[in-house]
């Protein structure tokens, strides 16, 4: 197995050196790192150019968006597996080694992944340190990603690798011009073709801006493009019957999420409209709880509850002081 680690880069000067160091410090040695600079203007590319490691390639392009940068990295990949790493995230030294173990556990899986650790951008020392068992992790085979996603987010762009031959068949893999959900769009489409072998141990630090995630500035009036495409695939007969049920249920659950965001913003009528659209999820406790929030609870109380839930999720993994 040889990996090509693709890093799209756009104005990540404070983070990119640490990110690349993590990619180059892997215990599994058969890999290359491709940084695709998407027209950075903050000196990010110049910092990368100073790194002389022969395993690293820097590609520069005029700004065209993260999707175009990742697609170009895929096209240039020399490895038989393509892994992804965002310019402000971090790979644990045994990350690639763990992906190999996942693939060995399920050789027919064309997508392999590990769990990830969400770390608030405001938490100071980087990279974080956390406890990882020396024992081989359990590996879960995910055959129905939408169903698994509804139990909790299962994959992250920086914690996943795909067989290169499959990606090339799907080019352009990432939707050009989209920067919200463009990665989920690919992971769900891949999962309709091949199961995902998920190593049940966090091997990636995923930087999250908690403050931004808790304050909703914009409530969508329409479903995001990637979910619209999922719904069309489900309705077109392109999926198996179980895949169709799971996909449509996932879309409905996202509509419930939008309903909650609308309540936080004080837009109760909009919340009710999203609940109506997501009525396929009306058999779930979450749908009815959201309906109760919409009808009876103050938006600020809902916001505080959402804040508590996000903070609890972020702190669910034992993080050790980086010292």
**C-alpha distance from residue 84 to each of 174, 274, 292 (Å):** 12, 33, 40
At residue 320, does pLDDT exceed 60? no
What dihedral angle (degrees, nearest 10) is formed by the CA atoms of 63, 67, 73, 75? -110
Q: Where are the domains of the chain?
A: 3-208, 213-314
pLDDT for position 124: 62
CATH superfamily of 3-208: Spore Coat Polysaccharide Biosynthesis Protein SpsA; Chain A (3.90.550.10)
At residue 109, does pLDDT exceed 90? yes
Neighbours of 223 (CB within 10 A): 18
Q: Tokens for 275, please give them.
A: 């609940």
Contacts 24+ apart (CB under 8 A), 45-51: 45/9, 47/13, 47/16, 47/17, 48/9, 48/16, 48/20, 51/17, 51/20
Average pLDDT for residues 289-318, to the nearest whole number? Answer: 66
The three-class DSSP label of residue 281 is helix
Whether 2 and 100 have beta carbons less than 8 Å apart is answered as no
pLDDT for position 133: 87
**Cα of 34 vs its chain's centroid, Å:** 19
pLDDT for position 208: 82
pLDDT digits (tens, 9 = 90+) for 140-153: 999 999 999 998 87
Phi, psi for residue 140 in degrees, rounded to 5: -100, 135
Q: What is the DSSP letter of 175?
A: P
Phi, psi for residue 19 in degrees, rounded to 5: -60, -45
The three-class DSSP label of residue 315 is coil
pLDDT digits (tens, 9 = 90+) for 177-221: 887 889 999 999 999 999 999 999 999 999 886 443 333 345 566
305: left (phi over 0), alpha (psi -120 to 50) or beta: alpha
The three-class DSSP label of residue 62 is coil
pLDDT for position 317: 45
pLDDT for position 7: 98
pLDDT for position 179: 76
Q: Which residues pair with 112 in a beta bridge?
A: 161, 197
| Mean pLDDT taken over the chain | 88
Average pLDDT for residues 82-87, to the nearest whole number? Answer: 97
pLDDT digits (tens, 9 = 90+) for 228-284: 999 999 999 999 999 999 999 999 999 998 998 888 888 889 999 999 999 999 999
**C-alpha distance from residue 269 to each of 50, 262, 272, 274, 306 (Å):** 54, 8, 5, 9, 20
């Amino acid at each position: 197995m040889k990996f090509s680690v693709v890093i799209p880069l756009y104005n990540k000067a404070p983070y990119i050196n640490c990110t690349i160091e993590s990619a180059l410090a892997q215990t599994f040695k058969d890999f290359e790192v491709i940084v695709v600079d998407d027209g950075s203007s903050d000196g990010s590319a110049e910092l990368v150019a100073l790194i002389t490691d022969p395993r690293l390639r820097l590609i520069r392009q005029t700004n065209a968006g993260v999707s175009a940068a990742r697609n170009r990295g895929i096209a240039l990949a020399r490895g038989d597996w393509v892994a992804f790493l965002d310019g402000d995230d971090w790979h644990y030294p045994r990350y690639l080694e763990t992906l190999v173990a996942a693939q060995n556990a399920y050789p027919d899986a064309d997508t392999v992944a590990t769990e990830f650790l969400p770390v608030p951008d405001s938490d100071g020392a980087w990279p974080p340190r956390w406890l990882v068992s020396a024992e081989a992790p359990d590996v879960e085979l995910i055959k129905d990603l939408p169903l698994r996603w509804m139990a909790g987010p299962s994959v992250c762009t920086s914690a996943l690798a795909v067989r290169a031959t499959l990606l090339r068949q799907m080019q352009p893999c990432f939707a050009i011009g989209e920067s919200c959900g463009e990665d989920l769009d690919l992971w769900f489409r891949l999962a309709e073709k091949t199961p995902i072998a998920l190593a049940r141990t966090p091997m990636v630090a995923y930087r999250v801006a908690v403050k931004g995630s808790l304050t909703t500035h914009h409530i969508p009036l329409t479903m995001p493009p990637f979910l619209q495409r999922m719904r069309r695939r489900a309705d077109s007969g392109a999926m198996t019957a179980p895949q169709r049920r799971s996909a449509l249920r996932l879309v409905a659950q996202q509509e419930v999420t939008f309903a909650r965001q609308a309540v936080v913003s004080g837009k109760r009528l909009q919340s009710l409209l999203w609940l109506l659209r997501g009525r396929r999820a009306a058999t779930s406790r979450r749908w009815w709880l959201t309906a109760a929030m919409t009808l009876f609870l103050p938006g600020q109380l809902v916001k505080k509850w959402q804040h508590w839930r996000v903070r609890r999720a972020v702190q669910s993994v034992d993080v050790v002081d980086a010292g």
